């Protein structure tokens, strides 16, 4: 099979031929139909997040059909306690279309796993970082971490739901019932989330890089009440803000844009350093928090909501071999919406 691998930070991704892997106990062999790229892939490429074992196939927004299954896993008693949605515990049938997200394995035994916070499991393994991901013609996945793709989504349009959508949805949950939300960085996640927000009757202000008129226009088309540059103030103080851009200097900016009691959610896995700011900006019970990874509950909930909104994704497709080019286009902001590789 054809695969694209990461070797080391600063080195270009490399195409190679590999044997199709064999599924082991509890694993599925998947034929990849589409794989979304994500800013996390850039953090891996740049060495801001570590890949422990290289070469590694990146890619953690996989839409695939089930080609074969390994032997069944023995039932384990604690599965009931980690609150796995019922439909995620049955084995997907051969040929069925499933999605594989960033969360690829959790231990099921630690305090975090047993309290519904498996996203924080210290033994968690992540697709496309600790486990070979979707930048290939075939991939293996733990069947407990695969989800049915909602009906009505073309493969390429479903891919961005699996990270931009899922982790964005978790970030939105951290905003509580805020009626007005600012989104800093209007890319793949924000263009999905704004649709969920509008469906939930929340108002959205979109902040982009200064001068990025295309992204601002895109946000307005998707229902933003206001769109402007990240150094501008919103028309009125916001009840919450989500920062998707990996720029720590936006944290104090967003903090000044939220009203007393408001929350600023940092939605990315990595950010540049956050500059110092006066305590008065945090005063009045403003909150800054991060969002880490996802739980299977997030996935089940969001994939149930997405077709009801209905969330429509705007995607640019690239052939598998153009993975490096797609990632550089993401870095430079050369497209609106999301980018998806097709093997």
Q: How far is the CB of 117 from Zn ion (least distance, A)?
A: 9
Nearby residues of 107 by Cβ (< 8 Å), 6 or more positions away: 113, 121, 122, 123, 124
DSSP state of 151: T
Opening angle at CA 21, ends 20 and 23, nearest 5: 135
Peptide bond into 318 cis (omega under 30): no
Place of tokens 């994939």: 303
Give the shortest CB-126-to-Zn ion separation in angstroms.
Answer: 9
In the complex with Zn ion, the residue whose CB is nearer, 40 or 180, is 40
- DSSP reduced 3-state for 184: strand
Query: What is the radius of gyration, based on Cα positions, of the chain?
Result: 20
- CB 33, min distance to Zn ion, A: 18
CB of 177 to Zn ion, least distance (A): 26
Interface positions with Zn ion (CB under 5 A): 38, 40, 106-107, 110, 113, 121, 163
| Of 106 and 156, CB closest to Zn ion | 106
Structure tokens, 39: 């800013």
Tally Cβ neighbours within 10 Å of residue 201.
7
Cβ proximity to Zn ion, 106 vs 180, nearer residue: 106
Least separation in angstroms between CB 103 and Zn ion: 11
**Shortest Cβ 2–Zn ion spacing (Å):** 22
CA dihedral 292, 294, 297, 298 (to 10 degrees): 90
Q: How far is the CB of 131 from Zn ion (least distance, A)?
A: 14
Tokens 């949805």 map to which residue? 169
Between 38 and 257, CB nearer to Zn ion: 38
Nearer to Zn ion, 105 or 207 (CB): 105
Count of C-beta atoms within a 10 Å radius of residue 226: 18
The pair of three-digit structure tokens given for residue 127, joined into one six-digit string? 């697709």
Q: Are 296 and 320 in contact (CB under 8 A)?
A: no
Indicate the residue among 41 and 155 with the shorter CB distance to Zn ion.
41
Nearer to Zn ion, 109 or 325 (CB): 109
């Amino acid at each position: 099979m054809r695969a694209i691998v990461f070797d080391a930070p600063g080195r270009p991704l490399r195409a190679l031929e590999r044997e199709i892997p064999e599924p082991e106990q509890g694993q599925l062999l998947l034929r990849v139909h589409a794989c979304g790229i994500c800013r996390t892939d850039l953090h891996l490429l740049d060495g801001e997040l570590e890949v422990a074992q290289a070469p590694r196939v990146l890619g953690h927004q996989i839409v695939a059909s089930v080609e074969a299954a390994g032997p069944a896993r023995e039932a384990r008693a604690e599965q009931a306690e980690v609150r796995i949605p019922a439909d995620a515990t049955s084995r997907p049938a051969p040929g069925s279309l499933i999605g594989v997200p960033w969360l690829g394995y959790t231990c099921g035994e630690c305090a975090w796993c047993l309290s519904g916070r498996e996203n924080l499991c210290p033994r968690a393994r992540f697709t496309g970082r600790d486990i070979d991901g979707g930048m290939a013609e075939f991939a293996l996945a733990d069947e407990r971490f695969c989800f049915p793709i909602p009906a009505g989504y073309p493969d390429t349009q479903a891919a961005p739901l699996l990270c931009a959508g899922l982790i964005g949805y978790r970030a939105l949950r951290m905003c509580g019932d805020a009626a007005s939300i600012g989104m800093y960085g209007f890319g793949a996640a924000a263009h999905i989330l704004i649709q969920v927000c509008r469906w939930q009757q929340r108002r959205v202000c979109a902040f982009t890089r200064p001068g990025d008129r295309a992204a601002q226009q895109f946000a307005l088309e998707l229902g933003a009440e206001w769109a402007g540059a990240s150094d501008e103030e919103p028309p009125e103080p916001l009840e919450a803000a989500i920062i998707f851009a990996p720029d720590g200097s936006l944290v104090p900016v967003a903090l000044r844009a939220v009203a007393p009691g408001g929350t600023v959610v940092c939605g990315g896995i990595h950010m540049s350093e956050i500059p110092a700011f006066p305590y008065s900006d945090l005063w009045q019970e403003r909150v800054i928090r991060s969002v880490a990874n996802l739980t299977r509950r997030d996935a089940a909930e969001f994939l149930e909501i997405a077709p009801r909104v209905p969330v429509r994704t705007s995607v640019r497709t690239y052939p598998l071999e153009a993975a490096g080019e797609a990632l550089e286009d993401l870095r430079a902001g050369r497209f609106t919406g999301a980018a998806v590789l097709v093997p």
